[in-house]
Structure 1
């Protein structure tokens, strides 16, 4: 049969030495007893009673009486009184594990004997809501009569003037600024906008045709050797040629590479070989594939005059070198960084979770917390400090809410890694309700 919603309040009290010492009126919340401070009724600590026990539960807008095998008491079901032993023996209460559950109607009442104290419960009609007092009509006045009319008039006029002025400013067109010509600007602005050009250097006076550059004269000197021999004395032709070769060998690229004429050695010959001329260069280039030394026969055949005729194009081919070696760059190794993690006794809000057992459980998994710290210690060798985490252990042993209470490391990555690690744990504790835990960790470099 479906439970009917209860409209009355549940009255629960504590009787001690024949007097009512505590009383509560409950509408929808469940009633719990025990020595835990969060219970509805806090009782003295006893080995026979648990720290938290739900005596009257609100399920589906109907209260249920929950008792165990050892509880004694009586309950009135409307027609007769029945003790707890009869409830358990006659099957009037539904069994739920080690407990017995009895749905209560609004006419039910009873008591529970707990040794030194006695709990009673019954349903009572809620008191009627008190109506708010209403003043007489001749006493009540309107707000317009109590308002300062002079102040209100000044305020309204001020608001009207300010808003009207703002509307005129917004609707008016912005004034156009006329552009000034350069001749209308002040001299100091003109100097700032148009920088003065530096004075030009005076051109030298034209004294006549300029002398030919020396390099042109030197360039014309070899041409003198090409003049017909008839214009020069026959005996001095070889001397003039030797003088021209000597002058050319000391200029430009020929000066760097060196010249074999006259027995001199250049820088190129010093690098590639000895004093034997082109043969040494060919020997030095013997290890390069596709490269050869040009000879007089390969460039033009040697029959025509130098500098003329049709030459041959020689392909470079695939240039290859002989020999080679290896360079061992070594293997990159990651430096070993170790950190030290210390913890202390945690702060647990409920006696359902043993703090020493919780500390042993966390210490067995302290390596995962240490790895979170060592990842960031590689980036900052001076990283050290304290991290205090606060989380809740649910009734199934999983982690609920999680937050970082304190972090003196100055590194958020360590706290984020610890949050991910602890959220994956399943604790061997099954508290009656969510239990808050505050756990500190102290990190420092091992070295």
Structure 2
């Protein structure tokens, strides 16, 4: 292998989606770092690795790869597939020290990679693929040694051919005989302009004579075509004739209650002068005597009386609303109940939302997260307010968690914890969070944990 003629290709994959792909050559930094911090070349959630971890380092004959015993993966070295545990057990990878990770203290191992070797490491939900490939790049400062000679020869040949064509055209040029006969005329040219009349000039158009106008119609001036046929309408006329004055006694209820109408039909029987409204209503509401009653029994419905009543047999009183009367008296035949509507108290509960300090990943702007969530606060509050109408005592703290992809869209949203234990509210919040759009993260995926405290205020 030619010294420094190799490169390293690294690909970050999340759920079968390529998030980032880079190739490191002799012109790049000799060390490639992977971890959760901002100082890494690949900033990813890497359980089992330190925050800043030098995973790859360029060597004269390949690359050195480092990993910990807290991660899993496979490698192909010398055309043979190995698990990480097998590489350690067979001393193909040797320990170099220990480091602190989020999973505790981890042993760090390293091994050499040559051209063609590749591997795949699993870092939580992210897979890291790498391969040492053959490739040479021009190095700055080498002058003509870094220039492709075939390209130089092609450019030189094109320039030479172009110059030869121009020289041949210049030497073989002969002026035309027709051009020799032309003579340049000095001075000014005289131009004659003739006034051509406009055929549409209205001032010069002659008005038509009277003999060519309406007189030629022979008494039918202004008549075009055959006269229209008059056809009687078949639509029935429902409206009456229009009159200047309307007698109020001849329309509506007045006409119904007039003497002519009361003398016949059911209304006449109810309103005739022999019995009258008093006797008919008394029979319907009161009973046998002249006093109106509300009750149950042989005498019908009566408000007060000594006969059978609606709430029992005996003397009782009518029930009331509010402060008029809040109870009914029992009769001799049975008890009755009263309506206590004046004791009912109206209670209104309003929803209150408090947004606590969120936990934001390394690649997203905290101010942008607060701004976008604040703009959507009314929709998140409505998720709680809608359920609060059914459960006035509903309250609690909900921590929503979501991931922001490299395009600024929410990749997934869920409820990390909840003391409210209301699935309608929680699913509504997940749905509203999934619709948010943020600024694109700078370097990797963001994981957001945002606490919301919901209370009902009377």
Q: TM-score, normalised by structure 1?
A: 0.30
Bigger Rg, structure 1 or 2: 1
Q: TM-score, normalised by structure 2?
A: 0.30
Q: Which one has a larger percent helix, Structure 1 or Structure 2?
A: 1
